[in-house]
Structure 1
């Protein structure tokens, strides 16, 4: 199999991580209220109850941990919660809070019942995380006054607030931090029906006509992720304006995705390359992630964090104790033949004992 070049993860059209371009449009696309938020129905209904109860009692919301892959709406929900509570939202991230002094500055600026959103909260340093514990539990932070033998810890009272933490790597959170959140919500990938509604809404906000067929065709290629859907609709709008009448329909979507190397299942060149290497070089696996990363000339973390999650979630890739395997669905999608146990090959799509 000839080696194909692939864009860096940060430049992939289907990468769910946010970019500067996405953030410009976030202000246009972001809903203000839970009523306007599409998808995650169970979580949304529970949050509506929590907000109403907190407002009724005049208390801050309980601390909330939002988990799940990037691009599913964790930051958007933080904005909405602050809006619904009628308070200010303060934004930060784990890597940005470099030391306890920065954390103290953030916390002392909070007004009563404000929302503090910390993205990538799993990346807080241990000293900062430990300093956060009394702030979460008792609305208090300990400040060191004086130096040397005369230094002493002075408790500083804080106004009641809500911490909303977001993480894509729940496994990297310490147990003490997880246990201090009263509410933990794991956001799931969105079904095509919800994504089609999001796409129709975004198209209307852009002033671009989009019919149901076009919205659904984009939805099934959006990898279950609103951020990807909103990125695709901007590209489809370009093709609609240049090669069509300005309207996004199924034909325009198919043209857009063909030109951008996104197939009907929402897989791009890198996805197909990963599966192709696994099938053609390693007979479908199992193969260790380090070996796979070397074959693809990609860092292991990039394989695990960027490329694998969607392929695993959609059933193209499997994990076993011995390594990664290509599933029957991967063989069928690539039109590849699958080896039998005796070493012979069978036609794609035929039933066998390998998987």
Structure 2
């Protein structure tokens, strides 16, 4: 279970948590791009998806089912909305955790109209009976509703109009092969470059009525961990700080002050990230240290360390996961102002997780 699934306090309060809070969902809606041409930062996915949609329009058919995978906050929900907009079709949104029984899915599918786009978020968390019903619906546009129990049970086939399923997952490896194979197009979203995030910050600022200079936009983008949702959240926090301290005018110095107040450092590390890194280096000599011991030392849950802090620290090359535990790299030591120990004379850690 991930921190977002059990709603840990750290996941709810960190300014660089990529999962949306309930209050942010409405705010993000005003900042989302409305068309593929406005969607920044994923040119390969945009070109491929644009070709799929254009070909479907030429044939007069619904597009193939689309699977979007990647870390949270990169634009999977936005792309689902864009697909519906580009095809001029209605959009219906649901999620895997909301579909725990085959009957739940049957009710949704039987209510679809022709050409409708069904967005199924966190599709890997759907129940197995519903998953098996979805196979038939995706392939034959039909669901079999079982009436009765035991030897007298009868399967009643219900035809459903052609539709496009857009599935989104943060854990593509948890999807069974038969389900993955039924998607005609699969897109893997990657983390964004700072230049792409800078353009997103500028566009979002314009929609929020904020004047942001290039230097401030670049500073926010640099600390956003390659994630548009985090960039927009930090922009709103900088806006709040500017309204209180400078009458709403955003400057580079003010942006840095706001981000320091929220404990987001120049590389995007927050309080938890630095606590984990400092614990490994200062308390455990650089490691290896087990994740449960590490979690206790920083006062967090093990799942929070594994799912919130570690992925970004590993991506930066500050720590490594090994069979014997977590190890700080020389870059991690230097980031917190410490000199890495000389391990040349000792046994080298096993670097293969």
TM-score, normalised via structure 2 length: 0.92
Selected match of 1:87 from 79, 86, 89: 89
Partner of residue 187 from structure 1, selected from 165, 180, 189: 189
Partners in 2 of 1:339 and 1:253 — Cα distance? 35
The aligned runs of 1:1-355 (5 Å cut-off) are 8-341=10-343
SS at structure 2 position matched to 1:105: helix
CA distance in structure 2 between the aligned counterparts of 1:270 and 1:76, rounded to whole angstroms = 29
| Cα-to-partner distance string for 1:102-135 (whole Å, 9 max, x where unaligned) | 1001101111121111111111111111111101
d(CA) in 2 for partners of 1:171 and 1:277?
31
**More displaced 10-residue stretch of structure 1: 203-212 or 17-26:** 17-26
Contact 2:144 2:157 in 1 (8 A): yes
Give yes or no for contact 1:89–1:117 (8 Å, CA) kept in 2. Answer: yes
Deviations 1:120-174 (A, max 9, x none): 1111111111111101111111111344432211221111111111111122222
Which is bigger in relative contact order (C-alpha 8 A, separation at least 6)?
2
Equivalent residue of 2:52, what SS? helix
The answer to whether the 8 Å contact 2:10/2:304 transfers is: no
Q: State the alpha-carbon separation in 1 of the partners of residues 115 and 262 from structure 2.
A: 46
1:205-242 Cα shifts (integer Å, max 9, x gaps): 01110010000000001111111111111111111122
CA distance in 1, matches of 2:223, 2:15: 11
Q: CA deviation at 1:54?
A: 0.6
Asked if 2 retains the 8 angstrom alpha-carbon contact of 1:90 and 1:117, the reply is yes
- C-alpha distance in 2 between matches for 1:293 and 1:181: 39
Structure-2 change in CA distance of 1:170 and 1:288 (3 Å): farther
Runs of 4 or more, structure 1, over 3 Å off, are: 146-149
Q: Deviations over 1:85-113 (max 9, x none)?
A: 11011101111012111100110111112
**How many aligned residue pairs are there?**
342
The alignment partner of 2:143 has SS state of: strand
> Greater CA deviation, 309-318 or 99-108?
309-318
Query: Structure 1, unaligned stretches of length 5 or more?
Result: 1-5, 345-352
1:76 CA drift (Å): 0.5
User: Would you say the 8 A contact 2:18–2:227 is kept in 1?
Assistant: yes
CA distance in structure 1 between the aligned counterparts of 2:32 and 2:334, rounded to whole angstroms? 38
Q: Distance in 2 between matches of 1:323 and 1:170?
A: 25
Bigger mean CA offset, 108-117 vs 197-206: 108-117
- Residues in 2 aligned to 1:273 and 1:142: alpha-carbon distance in whole angstroms: 53
1:116 is paired with a residue whose SS is: strand
Distance 2:344 2:113 in 1: 70
CA contact (8 A) 1:221 1:265 kept: yes
Give the gaps of 5 or more residues in structure 2.
1-7
Match of 1:29, SS state, is coil
